[in-house]
A and B are shown apart, each in its own frame.
Chain A
């Protein structure tokens, strides 16, 4: 086809683009993904049996706030990654804030007079935590990839990394409802490791599965 004909063809039928089209694609996909992750947590892992009591504990809110902050900045990262020419540096820098906060809280807890540093760091589930976070994150990762593919990512490894970070953080948020731990050092190390693992998977898969 001649390029002039192509232009005529493309501009022939031009429906207006609705406001917030990008957000609608992202939010619908991510809602499905988080539902998938929640199903994994509820059906495969099961919520912790003392969940109702734990909801008022400091440890529970440490996990939820840390992972929610990473999820929110991660979402912004994904939204930027789907738009050509958009800058990803600012959302990436903001990720340092929750990481610094959990590191600070960890230092405070480790240095408390009656603390048991080994227990704070290792809890009772250190060996499985990172892998289970990653497993919980996988449905969200798949959904995020599906949404990004419908946008226009132009740096695929970077976009995949952003999607992995977002999905890892969302998966960790969901995993919080299963996990019995609540010490900041544990969360800082093992939750972050699970998120990092998912981030790496996303970065690796990006160039393979995000082409459009």
Chain B
């Protein structure tokens, strides 16, 4: 069972009876999950469009929610449909990975921001040159060849540098976690 199910379902049932306040809470809450869901699958402009389209779809089709079924599965069905619609419009690809409702409700835009902040904080521990390399290759998807050309290092040197940097970050993270556990 998805954690938000009971709360969202209550809001939805109230909204179906005409409770605008509950409906506003519901749409606000869903928007945070939808933003994160589409941001992980579409580019920024298309993602916000998809969020709005999904909200409108939820609104115009709200009568199709059957209170005997999980509300989160209903929302996920619509979100997935709108994602496929978006892919189809841009002829990007015909298949959508078989994820499920938990994937929509397991993330929201706040947790995504925390994850990004954590990565940035961790990277700050590296010396600037190494940090740039790790960021380029591991986060921004620059190829090893391009990074080598940019820095003047050989490709194998780039690979070794990134590998060692990641390893040292892992060790740092391990120490941090051990320290935190010891403090408890």
Q: Would you call A10 and B73 a contact (CB within 8 A)?
A: no
Contact bitstring B88-106, A, C-beta under 8 A = 1, else 0? 0000000000000100000
Query: Given A17-B62, A83-B64, are A10 and B81 neighbors across the interface (CB < 8 Å)?
Result: no
Q: Would you call A211 and B85 a contact (CB within 8 A)?
A: yes
CA–CA, A12 and B75, complex, Å:
21
Q: Would you call A86 and B20 a contact (CB within 8 A)?
A: no
Beta-carbon contacts under 8 Å, A1-36 to B: 1, 3, 6-8, 10-12, 14-18, 21-22
Query: Given A7-B55, A152-B57, are A84 and B78 neighbors across the interface (CB < 8 Å)?
Result: yes
CA–CA, A101 and B20, complex, Å:
51
CB distance from A34 to the nearest CB of B (A): 23
Q: Would you call A11 and B64 a contact (CB within 8 A)?
A: no
A203 within 8 A of B: no
CA–CA, A86 and B19, complex, Å:
25
Interface pairs (5), CB distance under 8 Å: A1-B52, A82-B64, A84-B61, A85-B77, A151-B61
Residue of A nearest to B28 (CB): A7
Q: Would you call A85 and B69 a contact (CB within 8 A)?
A: yes
Q: Would you call A11 and B70 a contact (CB within 8 A)?
A: no
CB distance from B103 to the nearest CB of A (A): 14
Q: Would you call B18 and A14 a contact (CB within 8 A)?
A: yes
CA–CA, A14 and B23, complex, Å:
9
Residue of A nearest to B65 (CB): A83
State the B residues within 8 Å of A (CB): 15-20, 23-24, 27-28, 31, 48, 51-52, 55-57, 59, 61-66, 69-70, 73-78, 80-81, 85, 101
Which secondary structure characterizes the binding site on chain B?
helix
- Of the listed residues B24, B61, B69, B70, the one surrounded by the most CB atoms of chain A closer than 10 A to its CB is B61
Q: Would you call A6 and B52 a contact (CB within 8 A)?
A: yes
CA–CA, A70 and B129, complex, Å:
70
18 extra A-B contacts, CB within 8 A, seeds A17-B17, A85-B75, A152-B64: A3-B31, A3-B51, A6-B52, A6-B56, A7-B24, A7-B27, A8-B24, A10-B23, A11-B15, A11-B27, A14-B20, A14-B23, A82-B64, A83-B66, A84-B76, A86-B66, A154-B77, A154-B78
CA–CA, A16 and B15, complex, Å:
7
CB distance from A9 to the nearest CB of B (A): 9
CB distance from A108 to the nearest CB of B (A): 40
CA–CA, A17 and B58, complex, Å:
13
**Out of A10, A22, A211, which one reaches B56, CB within 8 Å?**
A10
Q: What B residues does A211 contact at CB under 8 A? A: 85
Residue of A nearest to B35 (CB): A3
Q: What A residues does B16 contact at CB under 8 A? A: 16-17
Q: Would you call A21 and B63 a contact (CB within 8 A)?
A: yes
Q: What A residues does B56 contact at CB under 8 A? A: 6, 10
Q: Would you call A3 and B55 a contact (CB within 8 A)?
A: yes
Residue of A nearest to B77 (CB): A84
Q: What A residues does B48 contact at CB under 8 A? A: 3
Q: What B residues does A15 contact at CB under 8 A? A: 18
**Out of B17, B51, B59, B74, which one reaches A85, CB within 8 Å?**
B74
CB distance from A40 to the nearest CB of B (A): 30
Residue of B nearest to A84 (CB): B77
Q: What B residues does A22 contact at CB under 8 A? A: 63-64, 66
CA–CA, A86 and B78, complex, Å:
11
Q: What A residues does B24 contact at CB under 8 A? A: 7-8, 11
CB distance from A21 to the nearest CB of B (A): 4
CA–CA, A16 and B19, complex, Å:
8
Q: Would you call B69 and A83 a contact (CB within 8 A)?
A: yes
Residue of B nearest to A7 (CB): B27
CA–CA, A16 and B76, complex, Å:
23
CB distance from B29 to the nearest CB of A (A): 10
